[in-house]
Amino acid sequence: MSESEIHTHQRTETKPETREREDESTDELVCPECGGKLKADTEHGETVCSECGLVVEEDEIDRGPEWRAFDAADRDQKSRVGAPTTNMMHDKGLSTNIGWQDKDAYGKSLSNRQRQKMQRLRTWNERFRTRDSKERNLKQALGEIDRMSSALGLPDNVRETASVIYRRALDEDLLPGRSIEGVATAAVYAAARQAGVPRSLDEVHGVSRIDRMELTRTYRYVIRELNLEVAPADPESYVPRFASDLDLSDEAEVRARKLIDAAREDGRLSGKSPVGLAAAAVYAAALLTNEKVTQSEVSEVADISEVTIRNRYKELLEAEGVVTA
């Protein structure tokens, strides 16, 4: 058993520029007339100064409805949209569903004759819904994705992305020669990383029915074929989970983040397993905030060897020392 993420871009160091660019983008826009803050009015597609009311930009895309409604009933009637579609269902939730209860729209029970009719309709509807093999394939895969996501405690948006990835894989005929389970697992792994709530390969592997090698192979394949950009996992994204698993204070968590940042500045992060870094940072932070956690406990929750924690956390403290002292 080994823990090492697949990080294609692993060896490229984070350059200082990326940091600066982030700062720029968060800059507040200022009114040229009075210096007040600018506010985007997306309803009317304008950018307006909140102080003097100067309209700076017009004719942006107006995303509001083209009709006007004066009360809720009006809105219901004029709106032409229904429930949002979701990729988590194999037909995006757009197909017809027939309730299992033999009740009509008013909640009354159906007559015997009607009941039989509905039963037949249900049968046929089900047959049409999972018409061809692709649909059946998807249905099974999405079930798997759902199961694994739950087991890993991943939020809905990750399931959604995983579903999209799987759909794309299916559309591009990546499935032949690979197992549904394998591609589904790879999709979950990729989606979790893309969403910034990564789970380690071993964790994902733990809830999957396929073996590790198949997972890594399939994952690489899917990433390459779909041209998915998956940045190496940020060590910090593991910190909250580890910290809470170990019942550490928020202070320790913040401390752990700082340690990672310091090491990042020092350029010591590249090439090292993000999970190991996170585990070491959490351990070191607990030490610094006088909370008792043993190396073996951390290694337990992080699925990383104690030796790695030792090596990393020494480096982390050194990096911190360089910055502060």
Partner DNA sequence: ATGGTTTTTACTGCGTC
Partner DNA sequence: GACGCGGTAAAAACCAT
Q: Would you say 49 or 236 has its CB closer to DNA?
A: 236
x/- binding map, residues 11-50, to DNA, per CB under 7 A?
Answer: x---------------------------------------
Give the span between the Cα atoms of 175 and 167, in whole angstroms: 10
Residues 308, 316, 319, 320: which binds DNA (CB under 7 A)? 308
As a dihedral over the C-alpha atoms of residue 90, residue 94, residue 95, residue 98, rounded to 10 degrees, the angle is 110
Range in contact with DNA (rule: CB under 7 A) among 71-79, 127-135, 157-165, 297-305: 297-305
Supply 247's token pair: 């019942």
Residues 3, 41, 102, 266: which binds DNA (CB under 7 A)? 3
Residues 122, 212, 241, 258: which binds DNA (CB under 7 A)? 212
Residues with Cβ within 8 Å of 51's Cβ and at least 6 positions away in sequence, in order, are 31, 34, 35, 36, 37
In three-state secondary structure terms, 39 is: strand
Residues 171, 224, 296, 321: which binds DNA (CB under 7 A)? 296
- Binding flag, residue 235, DNA (CB under 7 A): no
- Binding flag, residue 216, DNA (CB under 7 A): yes
- Applying the rule CB under 7 A, the residues between 237 and 276 that interact with DNA are 271-273, 276
Q: Is 256 left (phi over 0), alpha (psi -120 to 50) or beta?
A: alpha
In three-state secondary structure terms, 40 is: strand
Q: Which residue in 193, 185, 178 sits closest to 148, CA to CA? A: 185
Range in contact with DNA (rule: CB under 7 A) among 94-102, 106-114, 143-151, 302-310: 302-310
CB atoms within 10 A of CB 161: 22
Residues 87, 209, 310, 318: which binds DNA (CB under 7 A)? 310
- Binding flag, residue 289, DNA (CB under 7 A): no
- Binding flag, residue 5, DNA (CB under 7 A): yes
Question: Which run of H or E residues covers position 194?
Answer: helix 180-194
Residue 274 · residue 232 · CB < 8 Å: yes
Supply 207's token pair: 């809830």
Number of amino acids touching DNA (CB under 7 A)? 29
Residues 4, 95, 140, 249: which binds DNA (CB under 7 A)? 4
- Binding flag, residue 294, DNA (CB under 7 A): yes
Q: What is the contact surface with DNA in residues (CB under 7 A)?
A: 1-8, 10-11, 212, 216, 271-273, 276, 294-296, 303-308, 310-312, 314
